[in-house]
């Protein structure tokens, strides 16, 4: 028997705002009994409206498909809730019980309203207006202004059967109904190119409304729309207001009464606002100032005297689209492990973990006491807070910096709790001053929040160091998913840097469910594509992608590589369709600008040509390591990416059935490879520059003829010598080198690198207190201290892309390119590096895949569990005459075991779904 679980619509669990007319459904499968070879042979989906009317009944469909099933029933209606039921049959034709889930459609129509304020959209729903305070009340060029509070009272004639509200803002918002916070979203509506579109969110508010008087309210902050934005001040000299200055809010509440009536409450001219509330200033980079003396008890509930509030102003807004990704929400909280007092009255709470979010603080004080919270990632030698790497304003560079500082002004009436609203901070330490007493550690809580795709990867092995590396990798990931994949969460940057997530994306997918997140972000990438086809270096791109920060090799390539990984990991072809034309334009631009197919930056369109960023040539004062010669020449690096992305575009074309394009780009990729070899590869396999990175990239992207590959591997190993056997690679080549070491039989060397604790290494970071991955290999060095604070984050995931190697080689889980979406998986753990065991599980889009192995003096045990419908090639490391058994039985007699291919160093066993316990033992001599 099998059972469907984890029913999702457009990758989301019971979503409340879907605006694609043909949403895709998926489910995972679980085994109910121990039988092997279980699989789905048929499914039956029934979709019905709230009134019971069935809009889609597939009947029994003979199919093993469990993902990407496109809704094909009657047209879906906006704002309607659809319940879907599913049952499946297994290979013995036994039916499962019905499983049930739901989705709610969004509100469509270009912007629910337009600049003239009367576009009701489709289906004649009433319009809603973008409302807020007039400019004079909220705008100041230099400083963040107080939050706008909005409210509207309305009457419901009947009890509520079902109510959904859609809301968005130009700025960020919190929604309130009848004194309660609506939903748990933080920093909604999140970050998009607001000139093009804003996202709206849907909330089920049935339980919050009641017959009689009700109040809906909202609080607005500047967010990405009107606040400070990373790099903007430094590069453009503009401090805030990149997209606009007018904070605006839009909402529409749809209520179905128990008596069958419907009512719609929309933002319009009847709402009122004030800016006299407690949030005096809020900014993502700067922090928040909250004056509790100005709280307005009951403002968001009926019975409040709102006479001092003013009528709202309204203005136009962009197109609205439903948020496709999981919201930013608090996923866990941390309690401090220590509190110190390095200066009298200045307390430092240590959360024991570098994290991202904010602090919640319990205080007691007198009315007007100003409690200051400053956030930082490290301490100075004297125990005070280290904040230099936030690039705080200095006289020479006054416009940079992320203050990361909150203020709470006490009411003075006993126990008070402060938690900010419209900011976020990257920190391990919180410095609190302004208290009249010594606080207890438990007075402060670290609230960790991020875009909340589920944790799907659990990894553990016998090495405490390696476990700490994986933990740091995962913490760095959750620190840098805030609507966009950021480079860092603390300084004045926090941009969706494409190169970092390009190299990290496979690790990201092993650790967390990234499907919905990337669906959102790849649209940001597409919308930020320059007119000539260059993909942006980051997305969204508020600084004009035509003018700057576009087309950098390794960065722009995210627009090709990540869609491809969406296909491999989730079987997503819709994203390939969406990204295919943009990807072709990107390749065509590269080809047009590099007529001899060597990427030379002739057009000078990328004045900041990053290359293999932060390689060993960027180290400062690290004795014993060469000062130059580590960096792969930028032409070699860039041409390698050009060839690889072109190859991927050809494969995308194949998947999409676009034969002419498949041929065109395959031919072009071949020509780029030929040019690469002609220009950079000598007869002995040496690649211009003779760097580790050059070999790693050329091997990883399959650029070399087969006969030269072993030589290139030898040169790559030789290039480690000047570095004492360590790495000289930057962010783009490190994990690729680890993977190539394994591919060419040198996993022992890869293990040596991951176990290393000398600079540069992951172990060095961990041994020096890292709980997240550093931006630079030499972010801090013994005897030297911190690197240049102008660019030195301790929470950057790019170097953490080694997580991919740990997943593929230690856990042994490898998606199979010929069976995307984990229909077939290659399980290939390679013990080594002194490890005695490892166990890992990965919740694939089809269900949980688990691997556990251990070695002892006599042999190796490999346990594998596969969900129904997933088959695997399990590769067991064996030497010579090993005998392999499964649960004590010879393989030939085992249910579920198919073809067995014995090789010199391993045996590959094809298996059907189910649980297996393999043991390969040396033959007794």
| Among the residue ranges 314-322, 377-385, 491-499, 837-845, the one whose residues contact ligand BGC (CB under 6 A) | 491-499
Nearer Cβ to ligand BGC (791/891): 791
Name 263's Cβ contacts closer than 8 Å, sequence gap at least 6. 156, 157, 254, 255, 257
487 binds ligand BGC (CB under 6 A): yes
Nearer Cβ to ligand BGC (162/780): 780
Alpha carbons 644 and 837: distance in angstroms, whole number: 35
User: For residue 778, what is the DSSP state?
Assistant: T
Of 209, 286, 284, 299, give the one whose Cα is nearest residue 254. Answer: 209
Count, residues near ligand BGC per rule CB under 6 A: 10
Q: Which of 10, 256, 405, 493 binds ligand BGC (CB under 6 A)?
A: 493
For 266: left if phi > 0, alpha if psi spans -120 to 50, otherwise beta; the answer is beta
Instruction: Name the minimum Å distance from CB 388 to ligand BGC.
Output: 16
499 binds ligand BGC (CB under 6 A): yes
Q: Which of 11, 191, 200, 610 binds ligand BGC (CB under 6 A)?
A: 610
| Among the residue ranges 158-166, 493-501, 817-825, 829-837, the one whose residues contact ligand BGC (CB under 6 A) | 493-501
Q: Mask 796-835, x = binds ligand BGC (CB under 6 A)?
A: x---------------------------------------
Of 586, 483, 577, give the one whose Cα is nearest residue 529. Answer: 586
Q: Mask 721-750, x = binds ligand BGC (CB under 6 A)?
A: ------------------------------
Enter the tokens of residue 864. 């594998």
In the block, which residue shows the tokens 């009457």? 155
| Among the residue ranges 494-502, 628-636, 782-790, 839-847, the one whose residues contact ligand BGC (CB under 6 A) | 494-502
Q: Which of 250, 339, 488, 801 binds ligand BGC (CB under 6 A)?
A: 488
Alpha carbons 201 and 174: distance in angstroms, whole number: 11
| Among the residue ranges 486-494, 564-572, 711-719, 765-773, the one whose residues contact ligand BGC (CB under 6 A) | 486-494
Instruction: Name the minimum Å distance from CB 652 to ligand BGC.
Output: 24
Instruction: Name the minimum Å distance from CB 787 to ligand BGC.
Output: 13
Alpha carbons 189 and 322: distance in angstroms, whole number: 10
775 a catalytic residue: yes
Instruction: Name the minimum Å distance from CB 505 to ligand BGC.
Output: 14
Nearer Cβ to ligand BGC (106/230): 230
Let me know if 654 is exposed, middle or buried by CB neighbors in 10 A (0-12, 13-18, 19+).
Answer: middle
Instruction: Name the minimum Å distance from CB 590 to ligand BGC.
Output: 18
Q: Mask 432-471, x = binds ligand BGC (CB under 6 A)?
A: ----------------------------------------
Query: Which position among 288, 493, 527, 740 bears the catalytic label?
Result: 493
489 binds ligand BGC (CB under 6 A): no
Nearer Cβ to ligand BGC (240/796): 796
| Among the residue ranges 302-310, 421-429, 492-500, 733-741, the one whose residues contact ligand BGC (CB under 6 A) | 492-500
Instruction: Name the minimum Å distance from CB 725 to ligand BGC.
Output: 27
Name 908's Cβ contacts closer than 8 Å, sequence gap at least 6. 873, 874, 875, 876, 900, 901
Q: Are 347 and 44 in contact (CB under 8 A)?
A: no
Closest CB to ligand BGC: residue number: 487
Q: Beta-carbon neighbour count of residue 7 at 10 Å?
A: 20
Alpha carbons 28 and 335: distance in angstroms, whole number: 35
Alpha carbons 8 and 121: distance in angstroms, whole number: 28
The partner residues of 848 in beta bridges, in order of sequence, read 843
Query: Which position among 775, 804, 886, 912 bears the catalytic label?
Result: 775
User: For residue 777, what is the DSSP state?
Assistant: T
Nearer Cβ to ligand BGC (591/765): 765
Q: Beta-carbon neighbour count of residue 909 at 10 Å?
A: 26
Instruction: Name the minimum Å distance from CB 801 to ligand BGC.
Output: 12
Q: Is the dihedral of CA 845, 846, 852, 858 positive or negative?
A: negative
549 binds ligand BGC (CB under 6 A): no
Nearer Cβ to ligand BGC (392/488): 488
Nearer Cβ to ligand BGC (287/499): 499
619 binds ligand BGC (CB under 6 A): no
Element of type H or E holding 771 = none
Nearer Cβ to ligand BGC (194/613): 613
Name 283's Cβ contacts closer than 8 Å, sequence gap at least 6. 144, 221, 222, 227, 228, 240, 422, 423
613 binds ligand BGC (CB under 6 A): yes
Straight-line distance from the first to the last Cα atom of the chain, in angstroms, rounded to the nearest whole number: 44
493 a catalytic residue: yes
Instruction: Name the minimum Å distance from CB 611 to ligand BGC.
Output: 9
Name 93's Cβ contacts closer than 8 Å, sequence gap at least 6. 41
| Among the residue ranges 137-145, 485-493, 505-513, 861-869, the one whose residues contact ligand BGC (CB under 6 A) | 485-493
Let me know if 105 is exposed, middle or buried by CB neighbors in 10 A (0-12, 13-18, 19+).
Answer: buried
Q: Mask 781-800, x = binds ligand BGC (CB under 6 A)?
A: ----------x----x----
Nearer Cβ to ligand BGC (299/641): 641
For 819: left if phi > 0, alpha if psi spans -120 to 50, otherwise beta; the answer is beta
Q: Are 841 and 457 in contact (CB under 8 A)?
A: yes
CA 740 to centroid of chain Cα atoms: 26
Instruction: Name the minimum Å distance from CB 779 to ligand BGC.
Output: 12
DSSP string, 842-869: EEETTEEEEEEEEEETTEEEEEEEE-TT
101 binds ligand BGC (CB under 6 A): no
Nearer Cβ to ligand BGC (742/787): 787
Nearer Cβ to ligand BGC (174/493): 493
290 binds ligand BGC (CB under 6 A): no
Alpha carbons 921 and 829: distance in angstroms, whole number: 16
Of 191, 4, 176, give the one whose Cα is nearest residue 99. Answer: 4
Instruction: Name the minimum Å distance from CB 617 to ligand BGC.
Output: 14
Instruction: Name the minimum Å distance from CB 476 to ligand BGC.
Output: 12
Q: Is the dihedral of CA 225, 230, 231, 237 positive or negative?
A: positive
Instruction: Name the minimum Å distance from CB 726 to ligand BGC.
Output: 22
Nearer Cβ to ligand BGC (113/792): 792
Instruction: Name the minimum Å distance from CB 494 to ligand BGC.
Output: 9
Alpha carbons 779 and 848: distance in angstroms, whole number: 37
Nearer Cβ to ligand BGC (254/478): 478
Q: Tell me the three-class secondary structure of 538-564, residue by residue.
A: ECCCCCCCCCCCECCCCCCCHHHHHHH
Q: Which of 112, 191, 497, 695 binds ligand BGC (CB under 6 A)?
A: 497
500 binds ligand BGC (CB under 6 A): yes
Let me know if 455 is exposed, middle or buried by CB neighbors in 10 A (0-12, 13-18, 19+).
Answer: middle
Alpha carbons 690 and 681: distance in angstroms, whole number: 10
Active site residues: 493, 775
Residues that bind ligand BGC (CB under 6 A): 487-488, 493, 497, 499-500, 610, 613, 791, 796
């Amino acid at each position: 028997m099998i059972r469907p679980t984890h029913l999702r619509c457009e990758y989301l669990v019971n979503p409340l705002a879907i605006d694609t007319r043909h949403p895709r459904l998926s489910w995972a499968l679980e085994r109910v009994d121990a039988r092997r070879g279980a699989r789905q042979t048929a499914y039956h989906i029934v979709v019905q409206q709230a009134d019971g009317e069935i809009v889609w009944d597939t009947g029994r469909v003979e199919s093993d498909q469990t993902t990407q099933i496109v809704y094909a029933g009657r047209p879906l209606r906006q704002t309607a809730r659809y319940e879907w039921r599913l049952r499946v049959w297994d290979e013995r034709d036994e039916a499962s019980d019905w499983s049930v889930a739901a989705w709610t459609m969004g509100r469509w129509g270009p912007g629910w309203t337009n600049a003239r304020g009367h576009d009701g959209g489709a289906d004649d729903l009433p319009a809603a207006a973008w409302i807020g305070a007039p400019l004079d009340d909220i705008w100041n060029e230099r400083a963040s202004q107080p939050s706008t509070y909005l409210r509207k009272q309305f009457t419901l004639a009947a009890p509520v059967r079902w109510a959904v509200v859609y809301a968005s803002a130009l700025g960020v918002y919190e929604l309130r109904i009848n004194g309660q916070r609506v939903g748990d979203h933080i920093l909604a509506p999140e970050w998009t190119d607001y000139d093009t579109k804003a996202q709206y969110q849907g909330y089920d508010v049935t339980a919050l409304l009641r017959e009689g008087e009700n109040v809906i309210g909202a609080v607005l902050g500047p967010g990405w729309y009107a606040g400070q934005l990373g790099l903007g001040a430094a590069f453009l000299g503009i401090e805030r207001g990149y997209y606009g200055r007018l904070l605006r809010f839009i909402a529409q509440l749809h209520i179905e009464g128990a008596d069958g009536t419907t009512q719609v409450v929309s933002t319009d001219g009847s709402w009122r606002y004030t800016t006299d509330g407690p949030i005096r200033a809020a900014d993502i980079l700067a922090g928040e100032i909250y004056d509790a003396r100005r709280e307005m008890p009951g403002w968001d509930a009926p019975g409040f005297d709102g006479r001092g509030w003013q009528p709202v102003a309204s203005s136009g807004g962009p197109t609205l689209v439903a948020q496709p990704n999981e919201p930013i929400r608090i996923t866990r909280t941390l309690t401090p492990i220590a509190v110190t007092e390095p200066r009298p009255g200045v307390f430092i709470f240590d959360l024991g973990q570098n994290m991202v979010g904010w602090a919640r603080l319990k205080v007691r004080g007198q009315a007007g006491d100003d409690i200051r919270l400053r956030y930082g990632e490290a301490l100075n030698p004297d125990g005070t807070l280290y904040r230099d790497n936030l690039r705080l304003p200095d006289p020479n560079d006054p416009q940079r910096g992320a203050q990361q500082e909150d203020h709470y002004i006490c009411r003075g009436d006993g126990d008070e709790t402060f938690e900010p609203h419209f900011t976020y901070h990257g920190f391990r330490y919180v410095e609190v001053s302004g208290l009249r007493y010594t606080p207890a550690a438990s007075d402060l809580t670290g609230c960790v929040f991020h875009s909340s795709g589920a944790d799907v990867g659990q990894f553990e092995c016998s090495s405490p160091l390696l476990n700490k590396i994986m933990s740091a990798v995962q913490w760095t990931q959750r620190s840098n998913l805030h609507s966009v994949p950021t480079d860092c969460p603390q300084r004045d940057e926090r941009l969706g840097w494409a190169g970092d997530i390009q190299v990290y994306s496979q690790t990201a997918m092993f650790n967390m469910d990234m499907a919905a997140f990337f669906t959102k972000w790849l649209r940001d990438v597409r919308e930020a594509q320059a007119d000539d086809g260059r993909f942006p270096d980051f997305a969204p791109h508020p600084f004009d992608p035509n003018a700057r920060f576009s087309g950098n090799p390794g960065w722009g390539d995210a627009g090709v590589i990540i869609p491809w990984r969406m296909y491999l990991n989730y079987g997503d072809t819709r994203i390939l369709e969406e990204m295919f034309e943009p990807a072709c334009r990107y390749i065509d631009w590269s080809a047009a600008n590099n007529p001899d197919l060597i990427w030379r930056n002739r057009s000078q369109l990328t004045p900041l040509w990053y290359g293999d960023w932060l390689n060993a040539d960027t180290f400062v004062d690290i004795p014993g390591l060469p000062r130059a010669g580590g960096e792969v020449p930028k032409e070699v690096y860039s041409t390698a990416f050009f060839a690889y992305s072109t190859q991927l575009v050809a494969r995308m074309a194949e998947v999409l059935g676009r034969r002419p394009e498949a041929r065109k780009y395959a031919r072009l990729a071949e020509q780029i490879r030929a040019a690469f070899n002609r220009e950079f590869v000598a007869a002995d396999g040496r690649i211009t520059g003779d760097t580790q990175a050059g070999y790693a990239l050329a091997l990883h992207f399959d650029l070399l003829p087969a006969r030269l590959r072993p030589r290139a591997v030898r040169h790559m190993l030789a290039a480690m010598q000047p570095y004492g056997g360590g790495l000289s690679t930057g962010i783009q080549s490190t994990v690729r080198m680890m993977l190539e070491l394994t591919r060419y039989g040198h996993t022992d060397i890869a293990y040596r690198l991951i176990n290393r604790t000398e600079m540069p290494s992951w172990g060095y970071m961990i041994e020096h207190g890292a709980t997240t991955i550093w931006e630079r290999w030499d972010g801090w060095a013994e005897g030297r201290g911190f690197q240049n604070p102008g660019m030195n984050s301790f929470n950057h995931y790019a170097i953490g892309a080694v997580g991919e190697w740990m997943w593929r080689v230690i856990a042994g889980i490898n998606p199979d390119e010929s069976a995307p979406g984990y229909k077939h998986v290659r399980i290939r753990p390679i013990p080594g590096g002194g490890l005695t065991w490892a166990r890992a599980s990965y919740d694939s889009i089809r269900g949980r895949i688990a691997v556990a192995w251990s070695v002892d003096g006599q042999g190796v045990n490999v346990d594998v569990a596969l969900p129904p419908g997933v088959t695997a090639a399990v590769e067991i490391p064996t030497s010579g005459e090993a005998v392999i058994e499964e649960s004590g039985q010879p393989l030939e007699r085992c249910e579920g075991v198919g073809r067995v291919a014995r090789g010199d160093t391993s045996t590959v066993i094809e298996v059907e779904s189910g649980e297996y316990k393999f043991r390969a033992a040396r033959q007794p001599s």
